[in-house]
Structure 1
Amino acid sequence: MSVRSVGERIAYYRSVARPRMTQQQLADAACVALGTIRKIERGERGVSTDTLEAIADALGVDPGRLLGDREVTQSRVHAALPALSGAIAAYDLPDDAPVRTLPQLRVAVEEAAGWRLAAQYTRIARALPGLLPELLRGYHAATDGERRQWADLLVRAARSADAVAYKAGARDLSARMIELMRWAVPVAEDPVLTSSVAYVRTETFFVARAHATGLRALEEAIDAAPAPDGTPATAARGALHMRAAVIAGRAGDGSAAGTHLSEARALGDRVREDVYCGTAFGPDSVRVHEVSVAVSLGDEHAGRALDVAREWAPPHSLPAERRSGFYIEMGRAQLWAGRPDDAFEALKVARRIAPQHTREHPWVRQDAATLRRLKRADAEDLSNFAEWCAAT
């Protein structure tokens, strides 16, 4: 490839992507303005490290390729993990640096939540090491009348930070973020937010493979959740049932999985698809989880996941992280069903939807490595994909 500039390399990889990406599609996937993409490709402006990494993730290539060398660059997400750890190490010993107003910080927290739903972990990793200590300072300095609001923002910000840690494989840091959330959420006095923390806490049970214990914790959270009288409370309870169905599947408890999935489906039919406290819930999310439960229960249940995929695909209105998760799960189901080519196509769809989420997902690495050993699909295409996600 005889290209000379970063912009020309970006244009090249965009043109050879499968399917080919337009400048608008690349801009959408990288969360970069269309005008910026055009100027970079024309060589009319430089490109920052953050923007370069976002574009590389969207294209499914290592940033080093866009810079003209084959060196593997360290992910900015992984590089930010020590700073995130340091941000909460002294959660009870805040410094005396300035603190913005509650309305200003609410905007910043909501922006981080949007990045999480779009699986833009690089942006979260850049913002949260400064935002978390600022929220902790505000929380400790708040009056009794305002502390609930500070606790609410702190929990929501930690939720976004946990996404970065968990997806990047920093399980100990993720567990510490969850404990920070559990420490602050009682002060917020919001039952729906408490349900959200119980939902996220399940990550620790997944990591420990303590699925039966995790199911018990979720069932206790369901019992403590507010009655499903309004949309937020209905969504909160429904999301807990979705999560319980998946972990019951991991525990091999098909009966419990089916019961919780039925409860989630009934609650999902009562609300429109929406997002509460960073977690999507509604009829489409329940259908995504139906696939996840089938995959969790194992090979013999893969057929149910394939049946769902024949009838339905997640709409664009679902958060990118959830849509890409659907195709990652479908890739595994298709691999188990002896359809390696279809499995690879599903993984590529997941990458186009949410590159950072797909790149960090351990199942993607495992399944790409399996596909590589099977020597199926286009060899160069598969090798490039396996290199991109660090499959071994």
Structure 2
Amino acid sequence: MSRDMERGIGQRVAEERKLAGWTQPRLAQEANVSVSLVRAVEQGRAPASPAFVSSVAKAFKTSPAEILGQPYPRTTRDETEVSSGIALIRSELAAYDIPPAGLRPRSIAEIAADVERMRTLRRASSLRQMSQDLPVLMTEVRALVHSEQGGNLQRAYRLLCEMYLCARGLAHKLGYTDLMTVAIERLGWAAAFTGSRLWVTSAQYFRASILTSTGDWNTALVYLERCRTELESELASDDIEHLVSWGGLHLQSGLAAARAGDRDTADAHLAEARETAARVGDPNYHEPVFYFGPTNVGIWSVGLAVEMLDGTEGINRARNLPVPASTPKSRAGHLYIDLARGFLLHGDRAKTLDALNTARKTAPIQTRYHPMVHETVRVLARQEARSTESLRGFAAWCGVGQ
């Protein structure tokens, strides 16, 4: 295990603070958080939430990835394989509008079948397979865009959007935030040529997520409000693309509001998304860009409560939440990661570890690389007078030094 993996968020915050020559009260003032929270996070007594991380990073004029220590060092063959495609994906994103020299793509039907397989891998958080297969397929879809015309050209751009969404998901889960940002920019570029409301909204949704993750919550809320204005005239219809777009944008607004500490606004956006999800139902159409429906809104409701540091409310929201077998593993895994955070805030350490283990079984690689999992494990270990064998085993599995 590398030295950087042994350091948690609290240690990095303390180091950055000392390098800046700041006291804990000065950091609290600059980041607009409480002094007690700064102390608790630095001492490992309280978990650092994403809102805390982005606020502190903004105060230090650095990125959340620096505070989180991402991307994590590759110290095993397994980790090297999971990240094996990153360099090629980076090159592919740079070449986005250039025809690949000498490459004649297969038929659009053959390529679409492989893109569907990649979409399935993305929803299942099969990161290793994605990393190995995505770069070559991205290049072929780029060639397809430069060889098709008419209606097939729009279809080719939709396939390219899926490639960028897969690249974004892989980069996000492995902690390559710079690459994630480029993938979202490319998604916005390609979406404009698809003729699809959902793909345009997808680009807007993920653009707002960058603003939210960097602590620019008010800008994210203003931008999302502007995006929803484009949809309002179509809401009376039952057009599924407009409804899913509307609901997805409200969920992203709820996250921005939750991280800004505005519970009333977060709950209002959640209520709007829930009402829209009731009209849509859980996805049963072939190509949803967003996995949006009552189940996903329920998963989000747990996460939003935890983002507002109300673990008890998150637990209550999860209590009667059905998770059908058809739920993508990435979403179900996220639910249990958030639920573990909720149990930790609630003070139930045994159930915290239970939820982490469920997340591990559901979406193992996603769980292993999730920074909030690492943070939860560190704080859980700190709170235990004597760490259990199961906790030590979980910590070793996800590369966390206690």
If the length of structure 1 is used for normalisation, what is the TM-score? 0.77
- The residue number in structure 1 matching 2:198 is 192
**Within 2, Cα distance between the matches of 1:315 and 1:146?**
35
Offset at 1:75?
3.5
Residues 1:260 and 2:269 aligned together: yes
CA deviations 1:113-169 (Å, max 9, x no partner) are: 111111111111111101111111221233245321211110111111210011000
Match of 1:182 among 188, 192, 199: 188
- The residue number in structure 1 matching 2:307 is 296
CA deviations 1:152-192 (Å, max 9, x no partner) are: 11011111121001100000111111111111111112112
- The residue number in structure 2 matching 1:173 is 179
Offset at 1:338?
1.1
Residues 1:110 and 2:121 aligned together: no
Letter in 2 for 1:365: H
Letter in 1 for 2:142: L
Residues 1:205 and 2:211 aligned together: yes
CA deviations 1:342-379 (Å, max 9, x no partner) are: 11111111111110111111100110111122226862
**Within 1, Cα distance between the matches of 2:147 and 2:77?**
44
- The residue number in structure 2 matching 1:60 is none
**More deviation, 179-188/368-377:** 368-377
**Within 2, Cα distance between the matches of 1:72 and 1:146?**
41
Q: 3-state SS of the aligned residue for 1:98?
A: coil
Offset at 1:233?
2.4
- Is residue 199–residue 289 contact of structure 2 (8 Å, CA) maintained in 1? no
Match of 2:96 among 68, 77, 91: 91
**Within 2, Cα distance between the matches of 1:143 and 1:319?**
33
**More deviation, 162-171/120-129:** 120-129
**Within 1, Cα distance between the matches of 2:397 and 2:218?**
35
Match of 2:367 among 358, 361, 364: 358
- What is the CA RMSD across the aligned residues, in angstroms? 2.0
- Is residue 125–residue 365 contact of structure 2 (8 Å, CA) maintained in 1? yes
Q: 3-state SS of the aligned residue for 2:201?
A: helix
With over 3 angstroms needed to count, the CA separation of the structure-2 counterparts of 1:377 and 1:131, relative to structure 1, is farther
**Within 1, Cα distance between the matches of 2:389 and 2:337?**
21
CA deviations 1:282-318 (Å, max 9, x no partner) are: 11111111111111112xx222112123333423221
With over 3 angstroms needed to count, the CA separation of the structure-2 counterparts of 1:131 and 1:296, relative to structure 1, is same
**Within 1, Cα distance between the matches of 2:76 and 2:165?**
33
**Within 2, Cα distance between the matches of 1:73 and 1:284?**
32
**Within 1, Cα distance between the matches of 2:316 and 2:147?**
55
Q: 3-state SS of the aligned residue for 1:92?
A: coil
- Is residue 321–residue 357 contact of structure 1 (8 Å, CA) maintained in 2? yes
- Equivalent pairs counted in the alignment come to 321
- Is residue 381–residue 387 contact of structure 2 (8 Å, CA) maintained in 1? no
- The residue number in structure 2 matching 1:247 is 256
Letter in 2 for 1:373: R
Residues 1:287 and 2:298 aligned together: yes
**More deviation, 162-171/223-232:** 223-232
Residues 1:126 and 2:135 aligned together: no
**Within 2, Cα distance between the matches of 1:293 and 1:198?**
20
Offset at 1:335?
0.5
Matches within 5 A, 1:47-86: 73-86=78-91
With over 3 angstroms needed to count, the CA separation of the structure-2 counterparts of 1:268 and 1:206, relative to structure 1, is same
**Within 2, Cα distance between the matches of 1:369 and 1:222?**
39
- The residue number in structure 1 matching 2:20 is none
Higher relative contact order (CA 8 A, sep 6+): 2
**Within 2, Cα distance between the matches of 1:375 and 1:262?**
38
Residues 1:332 and 2:341 aligned together: yes
Letter in 1 for 2:288: C
- Is residue 196–residue 277 contact of structure 1 (8 Å, CA) maintained in 2? no
Residues 1:238 and 2:247 aligned together: yes
Q: 3-state SS of the aligned residue for 2:193?
A: helix
Match of 2:145 among 107, 129, 139: 139
Letter in 1 for 2:248: A
With over 3 angstroms needed to count, the CA separation of the structure-2 counterparts of 1:192 and 1:73, relative to structure 1, is closer
With over 3 angstroms needed to count, the CA separation of the structure-2 counterparts of 1:377 and 1:357, relative to structure 1, is farther
- Is residue 192–residue 225 contact of structure 1 (8 Å, CA) maintained in 2? no
Offset at 1:85?
0.7
- Structure 1: gaps spanning 5 or more residues: 1-69
Offset at 1:270?
1.1
- The residue number in structure 1 matching 2:327 is 318
- Is residue 344–residue 377 contact of structure 1 (8 Å, CA) maintained in 2? no
**Within 2, Cα distance between the matches of 1:87 and 1:260?**
36
- Structure 2: gaps spanning 5 or more residues: 1-74
